[in-house]
């Protein structure tokens, strides 16, 4: 199991390019199962989760082809197996996204109950009840969701009990080939949901309302192939901006989208960052000043994203003042706090809130990553700490960040990967 070794105390400076969004690419890959035509997907990030999804398609008899520009062409006409095995699903919750497309296109699906990051309950029952409302017969047995439908799925009026990104995506994909109109209320508004909708529309789907909390899908008889480029990753963008702010640095991130990062950029400005934006770039300059503590509360888009909470905890740990961070989306998302406190951070957990008092300095220590975004926060803590920090179990980070040590090296960080 690889580790990252970080020598802290270096200001990040320079320019980097942002990769395609993992949370957009995964549902778009699943959407290729909705057509027998070839679909070409561009700007896919090079991540473990993407490899897992491509392997999952391979298990089904679909063989994606990668060209010299690293675009992926998927031809689902060769599908032979309508099941997603536990061996792959256990490593990545997004595997559940093949359920809707398989059911809509092939009338049957068997998907293992998912695994992924251990950050609290993310119930799949919302996916199941929505698909049942569309006429699917579903049983959960032997650790698998076994779904079938006699003819086509039927359009339905679906109200999501809680805002769920993958739930919205699964139902939206299934509804594209359903008979009649489907209305999803209390739908997720995340940019990644919009990106999936735009890809489905490029494939011939009839969708409106994406980006609002009510999405309307009129089912069509079939979808066709297309070429689609995945949007930039807003969480990767935010992570590097926070890392630069924490180290009092100055960076420019390119091939990104400032318009979907307003909540994060606002908090960075409150922390003292001088931020400028263009159509596809963001620059941040701390003018070598210590960041100020910020307080925030996570909530579904367009509010502050839960996937940026741990990184701001790291920023607050060396900021001037005290900040509170309240987590409302997942109930088990403070596992990084114990590791940061071992580095000298002054963080207290009170229910679903952490109170962070800025410390004079953090000290390098061996720490262990517990989930994807927590591992990013530990890297940020290591960048600002004095001495050497060793981050173990970094397979989490490879699930969501493309070449993180190379990009940080481009910004001047002293970071390297070693096999354990």
Model confidence over 286-315: pLDDT tens digits?
Answer: 999 999 999 999 999 999 999 999 999 999
CA angle 157, 231, 102 (to 5 degrees): 45
The arithmetic mean of pLDDT across residues 119-124, rounded, is 57
Q: Note the pLDDT tens digit of each residue in 65-81.
A: 998 888 999 999 999 99
> What is the per-residue pLDDT for 374?
87
Q: How confident is the model at residue 230 (pLDDT cuts 50, 70, 90)?
A: very high
> What is the per-residue pLDDT for 377?
96
Given a contact cutoff of 8 angstroms between Cβ atoms, the answer to whether 264 and 240 are in contact is no
Could you give the residue numbers annotated as active site?
117
Q: Note the pLDDT tens digit of each residue in 343-401.
A: 999 999 999 999 999 999 999 999 999 888 889 999 999 999 999 999 999 988 988 89
The percent of residues in the chain predicted with pLDDT above 70, rounded, is 98
| Cβ count within 10 A of residue 198 | 18
> What is the per-residue pLDDT for 15?
98
Helices (H), 116-156: 125-133
Task: Calculate the average pLDDT of the chain.
Answer: 95
Q: Note the pLDDT tens digit of each residue in 234-253.
A: 999 999 999 999 999 999 99
> What is the per-residue pLDDT for 93?
83
229 has a pLDDT exceeding 50: yes
Given a contact cutoff of 8 angstroms between Cβ atoms, the answer to whether 73 and 40 are in contact is yes
CA angle 301, 307, 309 (to 5 degrees): 100
Higher-scoring residue by pLDDT: 141, 30:
30
Q: Give me the sign of the Cα torsion angle 118, 122, 125, 130.
A: negative
Given a contact cutoff of 8 angstroms between Cβ atoms, the answer to whether 248 and 289 are in contact is yes
**Closest C-alpha among 58, 52, 29, 49 to residue 41:** 29
φ/ψ (deg, to 5) at 261: -125, 20
Q: Note the pLDDT tens digit of each residue in 48-57.
A: 999 999 999 9
List, in sequence order, every residue forming a beta bridge with 16; answer none if it has no partner: 253
The residue behind tokens 């009338």 is 107
Burial of 139 (0-12, 13-18, 19+ CB in 10 A): exposed
Q: Are strands 353-357 and 38-42 parallel, antiparallel or unpaired?
A: unpaired
The HSE-up count of residue 114 (CA atoms within 13 Å, CB side) is 23
Q: Note the pLDDT tens digit of each residue in 178-199.
A: 999 999 999 999 999 999 999 9
Q: Note the pLDDT tens digit of each residue in 253-273.
A: 999 999 999 999 999 999 999
Q: Which two tokens stand for residue 290?
A: 């210590």
Taking the C-alpha atoms of residue 338 and residue 323, their distance in angstroms, rounded to an integer, is: 17
Total-model pTM? 0.95
Given a contact cutoff of 8 angstroms between Cβ atoms, the answer to whether 155 and 175 are in contact is yes
Distances from the Cα of 146 to the Cα of 81, 112, 342, angstroms: 13, 9, 45
Phi-psi label, residue 184: left if phi above 0, alpha if psi -120 to 50, beta otherwise: beta
Taking the C-alpha atoms of residue 272 and residue 4, their distance in angstroms, rounded to an integer, is: 29
> What is the per-residue pLDDT for 115?
56
Given a contact cutoff of 8 angstroms between Cβ atoms, the answer to whether 307 and 117 are in contact is no
């Amino acid at each position: 199991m690889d580790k990252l070794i970080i020598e802290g105390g270096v200001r990040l400076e320079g320019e980097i390019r942002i990769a395609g969004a993992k949370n957009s690419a995964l549902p778009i890959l699943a959407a290729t199962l909705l057509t027998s035509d070839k679909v070409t997907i561009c700007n896919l990030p090079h991540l473990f989760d993407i490899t897992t999804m491509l392997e999952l398609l391979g298990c089904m008899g679909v063989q994606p082809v990668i060209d010299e520009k690293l675009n992926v062409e998927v031809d689902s006409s060769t599908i032979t197996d309508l099941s997603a095995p536990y061996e792959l699903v256990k490593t990545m919750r997004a595997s559940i996204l093949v359920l809707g497309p398989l059911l809509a296109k092939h009338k049957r699906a068997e998907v293992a109950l998912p695994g992924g990051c251990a950050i609290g309950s993310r119930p799949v029952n919302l996916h199941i009840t929505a698909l049942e409302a569309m006429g699917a017969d579903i049983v959960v047995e032997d650790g698998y969701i076994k779904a079938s439908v006699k003819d086509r799925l039927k359009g339905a009026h679906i109200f999501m009990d809680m805002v769920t990104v993958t739930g919205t995506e699964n139902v939206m994909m299934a509804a594209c080939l359903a008979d009649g109109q489907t209305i999803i209320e209390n739908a997720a508004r995340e940019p990644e949901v919009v990106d999936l909708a735009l890809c489905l529309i490029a494939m011939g789907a009839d969708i409106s309302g994406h980006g609002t909390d009510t999405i309307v899908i009129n089912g069509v008889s079939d979808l066709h192939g297309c070429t689609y480029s995945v949007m930039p990753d807003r969480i990767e963008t935010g992570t590097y901006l926070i890392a630069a702010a924490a180290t009092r640095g100055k960076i420019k991130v390119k091939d990104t989208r400032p318009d979907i990062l307003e909540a994060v950029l606002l908090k960075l400005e409150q922390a003292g960052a001088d931020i400028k934006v263009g159509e596809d770039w963001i620059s941040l300059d701390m003018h070598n000043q210590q960041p100020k503590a910020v307080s925030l509360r996570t909530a579904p888009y367009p509010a502050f994203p839960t996937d940026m909470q741990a990184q701001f905890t790291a920023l607050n740990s060396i900021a001037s003042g005290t900040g509170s961070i309240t987590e409302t989306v997942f109930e088990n998302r403070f596992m990084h706090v114990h590791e940061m406190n071992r580095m000298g951070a002054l963080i207290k957990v009170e229910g679903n809130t952490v109170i962070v008092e800025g410390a004079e300095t953090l000290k390098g220590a061996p720490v262990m990553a517990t989930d994807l975004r927590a591992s990013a926060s530990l890297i940020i803590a290591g960048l600002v700490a004095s001495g050497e920090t060793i981050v173990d179990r970094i397979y989490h980070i490879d699930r969501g960040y493309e070449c993180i040590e190379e990009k940080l090296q481009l910004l001047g960080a002293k970071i390297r990967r070693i096999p354990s």
